[in-house]
Structure 1
Amino acid sequence: MNDTKAARVQPLDPLGHLGRHRHLLLQFLCFTLFTVLLVAILAQVSKVRSCHKQELSKEGEIVQDLRQLKAGVAHLCRRCSWDWTFFQEHCYFFSKSQRNWHDSLSACQEMGAQLVIVQSAEEQSFLQQTSKSKGSTWMGLSDLNKEATWHWVDGSALLLSFMKYWNPGEPNNHGEEDCGEFSGNGWNDNKCEVENFWVCKQPANSCADN
């Protein structure tokens, strides 16, 4: 009888149902914490990627803006200042007023230019046609230093190949005519004190795409 009672009485199990529930709850909490951390990490990675994409996008926009700005500056770049005319890498200023030869020379120098020097047949044709529409126009040519020895304002001598541009019978030095001018279809020598239109020349600005 005592043995039967003893067999029915079971020792208490410290890890019974309550212990197993605690163990499962702890596992669930650990899994939940791990999941939350994983989600947080993935969210952060996604945020970093998004920021990186935005930075790349902004960088691309900046590069595009710089290209457009550069193109705009190139478009706005003028080879010659206002009131100057571009021709074969040079700029020409055709005066609207009249001065004597010496004052015309000074006016060009004040603008950082020279009273025009003709250097090619194409340039001669361009200058002659433009001057013809205005009237007699001073050029940077004279024989002030020595009669009948013509020099440009930079000191270079007039080439023989350019002698053909003188009008028929010119230069004739009629009455001390020591300064050269565009007149009609060619060149003429005239008194330097006469007031003419005048034309200046200087190199054109560079608008090269660097």
Structure 2
Amino acid sequence: MAGEPEFHQSKNHEEEVTSGEQGFAEHDPEGLICSSKSLQGHLTQVPWLLLLLISLGLFLLMLATLVQVSRIRAYSQGQTQDQQGSSSLDKVAVPREQTHSGLEQIQQIQQQLTQFNASLAGLCRPCPWDWELFQGSCYLFSRTLGSWETSASSCEDLGAHLVIVNSVSEQRFMKYWNVRKNQRSWIGLSDHIHEGSWQWVDGSALKFSFWKEGEPNNDGDEDCVELFMDDWNDNKCTEQNFWVCEQPSAPCPHH
């Protein structure tokens, strides 16, 4: 029949291919050379594996992106809450009326303190009782009599000394009190250590003098000085006179 030779030809061709493959297999005992069928199987498996790896990579990338986005949102929300908190604190500020009233109260307290300090300054006495203040010094005009030595000791017992006259204004102050009381008063000047060398009780030399006319005359060993009327006179140190003590004044608050 006409179709039989074609059948035998194709069969012979398949046998040739098979025998060829077997020949290659004999020369490749370790299977290093793949057959056409196995190569086609490997080629069909590679795209699916590559697609799986690409899908896995995209999934991981999307997951990392989602994590980063969530972090950014959380950070932005935290900043928003902080801003809202600070703005709420600003809104909870003390009302202006309360602030103004608080300032007024503070000013009133300061005024009261100033008045209180002024009252204390008015009550402050820079000098003890019965002492007179003049140019930063306190003066005590005694009401008892005594010798020059006794008078000097009495002043020292009070933490003072017999008066030392250092200026014209101080001499005028002494004259005023002497005339007012009309009495002789010892001052802290003498020459009982060295005759004719007048010194004050603190050891300083005489610089200003207000002697009466003709004084000092050392009549009968007169070594101590008294304030008599307006000027000075030397007299015996044993005479009984009043005396004048002097000491620095005490500072008062804000003075």
TM-score normalised to the size of structure 2?
A: 0.57
The 2-side partners of 1:174 and 1:60 are apart by: 70
Between 1 and 2, higher relative CO (CA 8 Å, sep ≥ 6) is seen in 1
Find out whether 1:156 has 2:201 as its counterpart: no
Deviation at 1:185, TM superposition (A): 2.4
Aligned partner of 1:110 among 153, 157, 166 = 157
Pick aligned residue for 2:233 from 168, 188, 200? 188
The percent of aligned pairs where both chains have the same amino acid is 46
Q: Return the offset for 1:206.
A: 1.9
Distance 1:190 1:152 in 2: 15
The RMSD of aligned alpha carbons is 2.5
Please say which of residues 52-61 and 170-179 is displaced more in the overlay: 52-61
Deviations 1:47-102 (A, max 9, x none): x7598777656544433332221121122122222211111221111111111111
Structure with more of its chain in helix, by fraction = 2
Distance apart, 1:150 and its partner CA: 0.7
CA–CA distance in structure 2, aligned partners of residues 127 and 120 of structure 1:
11
| Pairwise CA distance, 1:188 | 0.8
Q: Tell me, which stretches of 5 or more residues in structure 1 are unaligned?
A: 1-44
Alignment partner, residue 14 of structure 1: none
CA gap of 1:168–1:60, structure 2 versus 1, over 3 A, is closer
- Please give the alpha-carbon distance, in whole angstroms, between the structure 2 residues aligned to 1:184 and 1:51: 69
Give, as a single letter, the amino acid of the residue that structure 1 aligns with 2:217: N
Query: Given the alignment of the two structures, is residue 136 of structure 1 paired with residue 184 of structure 2, yes or no?
Result: yes
Distance of 2:201 and 2:161 partners within structure 1: 8
Q: How far, CA to CA, are the matches of 1:73 and 1:196 in structure 2?
A: 38
Q: Residue type of the partner of 1:200?
A: C
CA distance in structure 1 between the partners assigned to 2:103 and 2:173 by the alignment: 53
